[in-house]
Amino acid sequence: MPSAILADPAEVTSSEAALRRFLHGLPGVDRVGTEARAAMLATRSIKTDAKVAAIDLAIRMIDLTTLEGADTPGKVRSLCAKALHPDPGAPDTPRPAAICVYGDLVAEAKAALGDFGVHVAAVATAFPSGRASLDVKLADVAYAVAAGADEIDMVIDRGAFLAGRYRDVFDEIVAVKAACARGEAAGGGSAHLKVILETGELSTYDNVRRASWLAMLAGADFIKTSTGKVAVNATLPVTLVMLQAVRDFREATGRQVGVKPAGGIRTTKDAMKYLVLVNETVGSDWLDPDWFRLGASSLLNDLLMQRQKLATGRYSGPDYVTVD
């Protein structure tokens, strides 16, 4: 069925009209059914051994994020130190996948993280609004990549998307993807591109599905829900729609794309709900930091406190984790 949706990727992106025909031809999202399914999966209980494994997996999936106007090099360094040693009292604690910062702090983060395998992700393209000229956005990306960013979190132009100028959004993602390429001097290759849909501004699940396909067709390595800067951030139903999209996209094209909910995920319980959603929607292929990430900051402390509880049998408290 999904392969019927997408007979020829090159054809559907060949023109504005073809792209619109394809995106509007996607099956509509059953809002009630999607919300009911997400709510039902959220009631699953994860206990004992499974909980221990899930907490460690969730920690490994975190993009530990600080995206404030008040970010200082010192704050970024302390966040990096936390990523390298999340719980000094429990050296077996896994490390989060990446640190997520603004582009100008990439070099600082890169230096602080060393070669321990924790990536540096940079938000770019006039994050969070995306309201800047294409040249400025591409310069933003190139700067972060040159500074050593392993991953780029770009925002789509929601204004263009909502106005129906899908081709503009598509071309912009393609251009940013090209800007993610590292020079030969930097070892070649390309920074991973995460495309932020900002689902809180897309109004409908149908739009979320269309934006997901649009981003994937344009070459996104990851699709991400939100910037964390608007009223509505990641929700379970939106993530469910995006997971369905990456599942169908892989079936149609053979290429696997990752998903990253971000914003508002604060507790271990929230994280468990997302893991259940992944497992039940796309299966264990995505249960890996390479394919699923959680954009969060305070979540890590809650996971660490739960981890301490499971290890010692005593409830822990904020005195036993860092103040971020």
Partner 1 sequence: MSERLEVLKTYKLYVGGKFPRSESGRVYAVTDSKGRTLANAPRGSRKDARDAVVAARKAFPGWSGATAYNRGQILYRIAEMLEGRREQFATEVAAAEGVNRTRALAAVDAAVDRWVWYAGWTDKLAQVAGGANPVAGPFANWSTPEPTGVVAVIASQRSSLLGLTGAVAPVIATGNTAVVLAAGASALPALSFAEVLAVSDLPGGVVNILTGHPAEIAPTLASHQDVNAIDLTGVAPDAGVASARDLEIAAADNLKRVLRPGPKEPDWTADPGTARMLAFTETRTVWHPTGH
Which residues are designated catalytic?
Answer: 153, 224, 260
DSSP 12-69: HTSSHHHHHHHHHHSPPP-HHHHHHHHHHHTT----HHHHHHHHHHHHHHEEEE---T
**Cα–Cα distances in angstroms (integers) from residue 319 to residues 100, 104, 301, 310, in the given order:** 25, 32, 11, 17
Contact characters 274-313, partner 1, x per CB under 8 A: ----------------------------------x----x
Q: Is 187 in the site for partner 1 (CB under 8 A)?
A: no
Give the DSSP H/E element, type plus range, for residue 253: helix 236-253
Size of the site for partner 1 (CB under 8 A): 9
Q: Is 316 in the site for partner 1 (CB under 8 A)?
A: yes
Tell the smallest beta-carbon distance from residue 131 to partner 1 (Å).
Answer: 37
Considering only residues 219, 318, 322, 323, which one is a binding residue for partner 1 as defined by CB under 8 A? Answer: 318
In DSSP terms, which residues pair with 190 in a beta bridge? 181
> Using an 8 Å Cβ cutoff, are 219 and 173 in contact?
yes
Tell the smallest beta-carbon distance from residue 312 to partner 1 (Å).
Answer: 8
**Cα–Cα distances in angstroms (integers) from residue 156 to residues 98, 143, 176, 248, in the given order:** 21, 18, 10, 21
CB atoms within 10 A of CB 11: 11
Tell the smallest beta-carbon distance from residue 81 to partner 1 (Å).
Answer: 23
Q: Is 114 in the site for partner 1 (CB under 8 A)?
A: no
- Phi and psi at residue 292, in whole multiples of 5°? -145, 130
**Cα–Cα distances in angstroms (integers) from residue 229 to residues 11, 35, 127, 232, 262, in the given order:** 36, 23, 10, 8, 10
Straight-line distance from the first to the last Cα atom of the chain, in angstroms, rounded to the nearest whole number: 47
Q: Is 49 in the site for partner 1 (CB under 8 A)?
A: no
Residues 6-25 that bind partner 1 (CB under 8 A): none
Considering only residues 139, 317, 322, 324, which one is a binding residue for partner 1 as defined by CB under 8 A? Answer: 317
Q: Is 319 in the site for partner 1 (CB under 8 A)?
A: yes
Sequence letter at residue 258: G
Tell the smallest beta-carbon distance from residue 317 to partner 1 (Å).
Answer: 2
Tell the smallest beta-carbon distance from residue 249 to partner 1 (Å).
Answer: 39
Tell the smallest beta-carbon distance from residue 38 to partner 1 (Å).
Answer: 21
Considering only residues 45, 69, 74, 315, which one is a binding residue for partner 1 as defined by CB under 8 A? Answer: 315
- Phi and psi at residue 100, in whole multiples of 5°? -115, 115
Considering only residues 4, 91, 284, 314, which one is a binding residue for partner 1 as defined by CB under 8 A? Answer: 314
Question: What is the rounded CA–CA span in Å between residue 315 and residue 310?
Answer: 8
Q: Which stretch binds partner 1 (CB under 8 A): 153-161, 171-179, 282-290, 315-323?
A: 315-323
Taking the least distance from each CB to partner 1, the nearer of 89 and 117 is 89
Binding stretches for partner 1 (CB under 8 A): 308, 313-320
